[in-house]
């Protein structure tokens, strides 16, 4: 029997994984699975673990036929090898947090589904009807993990329960999700029945989390160095020296803090960054009103970037000249995020923004660089280029997102827009605050999970060990972040160890790679060419990317 080629192994894995995880299939635009949900029971996790183990063995035995397959083999082996380790540690079966666990993904997947036809709405109804079984399997996995001594921290359990209650409440997401369907009476009845069943299942999950899992949940939030190392490798694709990264992040934080003070002084001489921010927030030239006004602003800014940057600074495929911009449904975390285009681009890449409830005036100076982060030249350009590059296999184009690579690029993209001259002093202050915030994330992500000491010379509780309360205080007083958002951020870091550090550490590598390429090529170095080569090579873990690009 002729052994499978590398690209064949990778493509086959995409088909098998989409079958076992229909939510991921919808997320990554792989058709044919939009009416189903994954089996979240222990049996479902065992099936996905077996798939990863078989694929890992197959890719290690494969012999690449060319350079493209050599690269693909290295990327796939690193990613799926980590998937095996994560399953062996029992982490997917016990997954529960405030941002990236089945609690959120089962609700969120309905945002991504097509609704242009009655056939689309029929698939929507079937998936709604599948929510109770999916969440019953999820409860079984959480119970089995708890019996084995593995339970998410009490903080995550409480907050996830609150999310479930928001979505299942009268007037919540499921109660209203079918109202916009223009369909016949029979299908409308199916949609409403499915929505009631889904809302009931989320209410049942909330009760389970509060009354059954909650009493088993530990108060301790930190995961410790060993577990943190595994999660960090997952998000970075590299082995992290946490102490070096922690020290570097403090240095980076201090550098950006100084630069922010200089930018603020240019806007309002003698004012602090916080005082300048307050003045900008009150300035009608830097604000928009209402959710519709904010959506129109983000759409206009992203469309301008697409028009300006294509051809001049980047090779932007024609398929990416459309970027959808939407306001996210309430109930999730605050902030912006991006969702992939469909494999055939029938669904465009989309920038979503979750706005605070009750707020009607939005300062745009704070958020301009985020539009570039999520749109162009950030995620939309990076992820969309991979989807549109024919030389990559389907795993590279669709399933392979590594936070250090992807979020690192998007943070680097914000910096690029400064270099290209798109940020006046007000928007620069907003961009610097975002960068300061990402440096703080490295400090807090590592510091909270490893209970690191706060160094001397930082001017903040020197010598003390990090606690969640100190984390909220740090974000609230040393960055331009309001206390409510700061508390949400700390919950995120504690429930998603290793992910928050990936932004700034990934940006550091992108900058290092650019300067290494500049040094190697000398006068022949071309920035547009560097970006084109880097993006068309597809995603990779940071260690793999360093090897491939140097």
Residue 1 has pLDDT above 60, yes or no: no
Instruction: Please report whether residue 450 resides in a domain.
Output: yes
Residues β-bridged to residue 325: 351
Q: Assign 176 a pLDDT band (cuts: 50, 70, 90).
A: confident
Instruction: Please report whether residue 266 resides in a domain.
Output: yes
Whether residue 303 sits in one domain with residue 254: yes
Q: Assign 191 a pLDDT band (cuts: 50, 70, 90).
A: very high
Whether residue 273 sits in one domain with residue 167: no
Q: Assign 93 a pLDDT band (cuts: 50, 70, 90).
A: very high
Longest dimension (CA), the chain: 76
What is the C-alpha to C-alpha distance for residues 319 and 384, in angstroms, rounded to an integer? 8
Whether residue 359 sits in one domain with residue 446: yes
Domain stop point among 165, 191, 221: 221
Residue 548 has pLDDT above 70, yes or no: yes
Q: Assign 333 a pLDDT band (cuts: 50, 70, 90).
A: low
pLDDT of residue 178: 81
Q: Assign 278 a pLDDT band (cuts: 50, 70, 90).
A: very high
Instruction: Please report whether residue 536 resides in a domain.
Output: no
Instruction: Please report whether residue 521 resides in a domain.
Output: no
Whether residue 271 sits in one domain with residue 180: no
Which of 226-229's residues contact partners 24+ apart within 8 Å by CB, and which partners? Answer: 227/89, 227/497, 228/446, 228/449, 228/450, 228/497, 228/498
Whether residue 245 sits in one domain with residue 348: yes
Domain stop point among 502, 517, 536: 502
Whether residue 187 sits in one domain with residue 49: yes
Instruction: Please report whether residue 95 resides in a domain.
Output: yes
Residue 356 has pLDDT above 90, yes or no: no
Whether residue 204 sits in one domain with residue 282: no
515 in Cβ contact with 547 (< 8 Å)? no
Residue the block writes with tokens 């392979």: 400
pLDDT of residue 177: 83
Domain residue limits at 97: 6-221
What is the C-alpha to C-alpha distance for residues 368 and 462, in angstroms, rounded to an integer? 34
Higher pLDDT, 448 or 2: 448
449 in Cβ contact with 220 (< 8 Å)? no
Whether residue 167 sits in one domain with residue 60: yes
Residue 332 has pLDDT above 80, yes or no: no
Instruction: Please report whether residue 532 resides in a domain.
Output: no
Whether residue 277 sits in one domain with residue 137: no
Query: What is the average pLDDT value for the chain, to the nearest integer?
Result: 94
Instruction: Please report whether residue 278 resides in a domain.
Output: yes
Q: Which of 107-121, 210-224, 324-338, 414-428 has the lowest mean pLDDT?
A: 324-338
Tally of domains in the chain: 2
Examine residue 424 and say whether the peptide bond preceding it is cis (omega within 30 degrees of 0).
Answer: no
pLDDT of residue 530: 94
162 in Cβ contact with 487 (< 8 Å)? no
Whether residue 375 sits in one domain with residue 404: yes
Average pLDDT estimate for 150-157: 97
276 in Cβ contact with 433 (< 8 Å)? no
Neighbours of 341 (CB within 10 A): 23
DSSP E strand boundaries for 217-310: 287-289
Whether residue 314 sits in one domain with residue 187: no
pLDDT of residue 550: 67
Instruction: Please report whether residue 522 resides in a domain.
Output: no
**50's tokens:** 């077996």
pLDDT over 70, % of the chain = 98
62 in Cβ contact with 55 (< 8 Å)? no
What pTM did the predictor assign?
Answer: 0.93
Whether residue 165 sits in one domain with residue 108: yes
Sheet with 350-354: strands ordered across: 324-327, 350-354, 335-339
pLDDT over 90, % of the chain = 90
Neighbours of 93 (CB within 10 A): 23
Domain stop point among 221, 246, 264: 221
- Name every residue whose Cβ is closer than 8 Å to that of residue 374 and which is 6 or more positions away in sequence: 336, 337, 338, 351, 380, 410
């Amino acid at each position: 029997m002729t052994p499978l080629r590398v690209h064949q192994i990778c493509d086959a894995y995409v088909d098998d994984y989409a079958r076992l995880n229909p939510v991921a299939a919808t997320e990554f635009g792989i058709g044919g699975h939009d009416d189903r949900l994954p089996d979240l029971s222990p049996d479902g996790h065992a099936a996905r673990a077996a798939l990863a183990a078989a694929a890992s063995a197959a890719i290690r035995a494969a012999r690449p036929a060319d350079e493209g397959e050599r690269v693909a083999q290295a990327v796939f082996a690193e990613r799926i090898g980590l998937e095996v380790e994560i399953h062996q540690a029992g982490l997917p079966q016990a997954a529960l947090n405030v941002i990236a666990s089945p609690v959120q993904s089962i609700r969120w997947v309905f945002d991504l589904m097509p609704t242009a036809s009655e056939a689309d709405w029929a698939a929507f109804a079937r998936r709604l009807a599948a929510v109770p079984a999916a969440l019953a399997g999820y409860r079984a996995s959480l119970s089995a993990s708890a019996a084995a001594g593995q339970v998410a921290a009490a903080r995550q359990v409480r907050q996830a329960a609150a999310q479930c209650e928001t979505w299942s409440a009268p007037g919540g997401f499921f109660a209203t999700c079918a109202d916009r369907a223009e369909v016949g009476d029979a299908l409308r009845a199916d949609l409403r029945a499915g929505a009631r069943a889904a809302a009931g299942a989320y209410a049942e999950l909330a009760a389970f989390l509060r009354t059954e899992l909650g009493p088993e949940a530990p108060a301790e939030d930190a995961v410790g160095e060993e577990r943190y190392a595994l999660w960090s490798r997952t998000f970075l694709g590299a082995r992290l020296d946490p102490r070096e990264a922690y020290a570097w992040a403090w240095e980076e934080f201090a550098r950006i803090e100084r630069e922010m003070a200089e930018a603020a002084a240019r806007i309002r001489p003698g004012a602090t960054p916080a005082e300048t921010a307050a003045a900008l927030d009150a300035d009608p030239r830097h604000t928009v009103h209402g959710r519709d006004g904010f959506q129109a602003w983000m759409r206009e800014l992203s469309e301008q970037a697409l028009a300006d940057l294509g051809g001049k600074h980047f090779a932007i495929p024609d398929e990416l000249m459309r970027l959808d911009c939407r306001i996210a449904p309430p109930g999730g975390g605050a902030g912006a995020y991006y969702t992939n285009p469909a494999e055939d681009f029938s669904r465009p890449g989309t920038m979503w923004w979750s706005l605070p409830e009750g707020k009607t005036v939005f300062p745009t100076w704070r958020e301009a660089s985020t539009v570039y982060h999520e749109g162009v030249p950030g995620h939309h350009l990076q992820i969309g280029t991979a989807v549109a590059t024919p030389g990559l296999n389907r795993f590279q184009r669709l399933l392979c997102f590594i936070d250090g690579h992807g979020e690192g690029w998007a943070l680097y993209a914000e910096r690029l827009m400064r270099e290209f001259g798109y940020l006046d002093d007000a928007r620069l202050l907003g961009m610097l605050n975002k960068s300061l915030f990402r440096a703080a994330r490295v400090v807090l992500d590592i510091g909270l999970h490893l209970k690191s000491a706060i160094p001397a010379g930082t001017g903040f509780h020197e010598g003390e060990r990090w606690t969640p309360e100190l984390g909220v205080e740090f974000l609230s007083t040393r960055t331009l972040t309001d206390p409510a958002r700061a508390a949400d951020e700390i919950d995120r870091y504690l429930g998603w160890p290793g992910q928050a550090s990936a932004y700034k550490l990934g940006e550091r590598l992108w900058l290092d790679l650019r300067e290494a390429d500049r040094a190697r090529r000398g006068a022949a170095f071309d920035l547009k060419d560097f970006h084109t080569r880097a993006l068309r090579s597809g995603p990779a873990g940071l260690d793999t990317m360093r090897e491939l690009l140097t």
